[in-house]
Chains A and B, each alone.
Chain A
Amino acid sequence: MKHLEEYRDAAGARRYAAALAGAVTRPWTIMEVCGGQTHSIIKFGVDELLPKPVTLVHGPGCPVCVTPIELIDKAVAIASMPGVVFCSFGDMLRVPGTKGDLFSARAAGGDVRIVYSPMDAVKLARENPSRQVVFFAVGFETTAPANALAVHEARRSGLGNFSVLVSHVLVPPAMAAVLSSPANRVQAFLAAGHVCTVMGLAEYEPLAAKYRVPIVVTGFEPLDILQGILMCVRQLEAGRAVVENQYSRSVRREGNEPARGLIARVFKVVPRKWRGIGEIPASGFALREPYEGFDAERRFGVAGHSVDESGACISGAILQGLKKPPECPAFGVQCTPEHPWGATMVSSEGACAAYYSYRRTEKGASHEAN
């Protein structure tokens, strides 16, 4: 892909690294919000090119990581029911609940299928009128329009055998939660480029003003990230704190208005529990009243189930940028992708999995900290 290769260029990366080295005069801590950015940073080694005073910490923007354990349990329970076809994006299948993951549900006889779009699940429902087709509607604002469209389409066409298990979360409330924490050390954000492609910039401006933090909407390729960091550092050094858009090839100020309209029509904002972090007010989506009949929790009677998470896994602190994976005593020793203690070790976008895959210096022993 030529249009991607130009954002993965070694000479360009060196130029940004030199500009950063010239711009920085004191230590700054910057959080990349999105798990896709975390993955890219670790995979390409972006952080190795940064001048010492600039520290990156990894944010809560990994949808797989923050989906609460009880939602996984509900998914497994529904997927195990006879007559159900349970559809999900691929990377949710490996996330463990209290009694196993969706792969195990499939191995035990459940009809669990990977789809690439919620509309694939709508199509499956049309083709299998005698089965109940359930889609696991997970993700941030990025996946919300397509999920809203699927539910809207199901209602419009009277598709009675389709429903969604909703676990949608929102980025700005999570950023506010990070900034409000007494232990917070984040001084600037790389905001998630694809979330802003949908939602636009407006909801970040109050955050930048209230907490006095620069917020740079940033893409996912190494050069995007380096440029976003440079824009953050220039603001920090100049004492400015505004919203800027590095990812202008995708993000417009107003976002994608038809997509936002569809989201507002189908979803309402509700409090949501985040795995490892706990409940954050007004931080997620649930179906609005006209669409409630398509809520799988209601249809299959799994609402209300709650699970206490163990305190031994520090994924909550990692998702809030308070700790890095190598600071966890279990990292790479007891906790590995084959034997994960938390979802940050499972998801390909999880910070622990990224460090495990790309940063170990010895199998299951010591690790390079950043």
Chain B
Amino acid sequence: MKPTEPTRRKRPAAGAAPASPPAAAPACPVPVSEYPNILMAHGGGGRLMHRLLDKVFLPAFSNPALEARHDGALLDVGEARLAFTTDSYVVKPLFFPGGDIGKLAVHGTVNDLAMCGARPLYLSAGFILEEGLPVADLARVVESMRQAAGEAGVLLVTGDTKVVDRGKADGLFVNTAGIGLVERGRVIGPSRVQADDAILLNGDIGRHGMAIMAVREGLSFESLIESDTAALGGIVMSLLDAGVEVHCLRDLTRGGLATTLVEIAEARRLGIEIVERAIPVREDVSGACEILGFDPLYVANEGRFVAFVARRDAGRALEVLRSHPLGRDACEIGRVSGDERALVALRSKIGARRLVDMLSGEQLPRIC
């Protein structure tokens, strides 16, 4: 099975690597973390992918911009502060309820820029086309990208096209990169997160992942679940323009809300407390998750983000979010605690407390 979500997420959290393996592990001779070949789980947004980043990519390309481990790199060029990011899209099917690969490719890169506090400006697009792809499909994707870029206020200014043999790609892969402008003095990221910050979420979670899952696996649920894919540049700018003291922003893509919160807690070395009842999950999404044995906390989203804001601004921030179409159901889901063990704790629906962890790879449908 392909990952439930389109493959995008690149930021690892600092200090994510657990204890090193023992010299002689007794029972299971192949440690999952030391696979000689790449597995789908290496792209699942969990611990295995973070390990890959830590062991293969970061040592090779080490530099301060990369090591900030943000959604995008922040670069000072002359007087300007730029945010720069890239993402690849390998979603299957190419068209799904609520969106398509092109829309996703524009939204994903716009969102990564927005999460740096940047105003998204320019995108590039690289297309890898499989021999035999209907030109009409490509045209549909391109038209969708044109619309999405227009709505997000970005220009697609450069691109590339390659064709590969039949069977070497799932019809079409897209890579986008983007540049945005960050206002002078604005710093947004895990380093600014403080104890008692309010954690706000702009709406219900889990829709994108379950929409893709339902189409790809031919599962029909009681109602059609549509992806939540959306460009978040506008709603983020409305928050920043309103003068809300925003400390950190993250879109909840692969790995879902849980993974995002664990990454931030580990990067900042502070605890996070969330309340399960406060996290909106639509009834059809929650039903589909029950059937498959999935936890909506780990399911992908493409139009959802968390904002860590100063406690005193929380009420005003919620008002701003709720007045935007992409934040009508915005809510506070928890707070940052002073706990230096950097754990994410959840108050369960029956009122007990438990830990929220990052998964090793992707969620798998269970047996019974």
Contact = CB atoms under 8 A, between A and B. Distances in A.
Interface of A: 1-2, 4-5, 8-10, 13-14, 36, 42-46, 48-49, 63-64, 89-94, 96, 98-101, 103-104, 106-108, 113-114, 116, 138-140, 142-143, 194, 222-223, 309-313, 315, 330, 333-342, 348-349, 356-364
Interface in B28-65: 28-33, 35, 37-41, 47-48, 51
Q: Which of B28, B29, B360, B366 has the most CB of A within 10 A?
A: B28
B69 to A, nearest CB: 17
A113 B365 CA distance: 12
A339 B20 CA distance: 9
Given A45-B352, A338-B31, A360-B357, A1 B287 contact: yes
B366 A348 contact: yes
B353 to A, nearest CB: 6
Given A339-B32, A340-B32, A49 B350 contact: yes
Q: Which of A223, A310, A311 has the most CB of B within 10 A?
A: A310
A92 to B, nearest CB: 7
**Chain B facing A: main interface SS:** loop
Contact of A341 (B27, B35, B219, B353): B27
A220 B3 CA distance: 28
A90 B1 contact: yes
Contacts of B354: 42-45, 358-359
Q: Which of B35, B364, B367 has the most CB of A within 10 A?
A: B367
14 contacts: A1-B286, A96-B29, A96-B30, A107-B35, A140-B368, A143-B367, A222-B348, A336-B19, A337-B359, A338-B31, A338-B47, A339-B21, A341-B28, A358-B355
B1 A341 contact: no
B360 A104 contact: no
A4 B351 contact: no
A342 B27 contact: yes
A90 B290 contact: no
Given A64-B367, A333-B19, A359-B355, 12 more contacts: A96-B32, A98-B29, A106-B40, A139-B368, A335-B25, A338-B47, A338-B48, A338-B51, A339-B32, A358-B357, A363-B341, A364-B19
Interface residues of B, number: 50
Contact of B39 (A43, A104, A114, A311): A104
A222 B349 CA distance: 9
Which 9 interchain pairs have the tightest Cβ spacing?
A: A45-B352, A312-B26, A90-B364, A13-B350, A313-B27, A96-B28, A90-B365, A310-B26, A107-B37
Contacts of A339: 21, 25, 28, 31-33
Contacts, number: 177
Contacts of A14: 351
Contact of B368 (A63, A101, A108, A113): A63
Contacts of B290: 1, 4
Contacts of A98: 29
B38 A107 contact: yes
A46 B41 CA distance: 31
Nearest to B24: A312
A287 B139 CA distance: 53
A44 B349 contact: yes
Q: Which of A93, A313, A358 has the most CB of B within 10 A?
A: A358
B262 to A, nearest CB: 10
A134 to B, nearest CB: 17
A99 B290 CA distance: 33
A101 B30 contact: yes
A103 B217 contact: no
Nearest to B35: A104
Nearest to B32: A338
A1 B283 CA distance: 5
Contacts of B39: 103-104, 106-107
Contacts of B28: 96, 313, 339-342
Contact of A349 (B27, B41, B47, B366): B366
A90 B1 CA distance: 9
A64 B366 CA distance: 9
Given A96-B29, A116-B365, A44 B348 contact: yes
Q: Which of B25, B287, B352, B360 has the most CB of A within 10 A?
A: B352
Contacts of A94: 32, 41, 360-361, 364
Nearest to B217: A116
Contacts of A337: 32, 47, 359-360
A9 B343 CA distance: 25
Contacts of A364: 18-19
B132 interface: no
Interface string B314-354: 00000000000000000000000000011100001111111
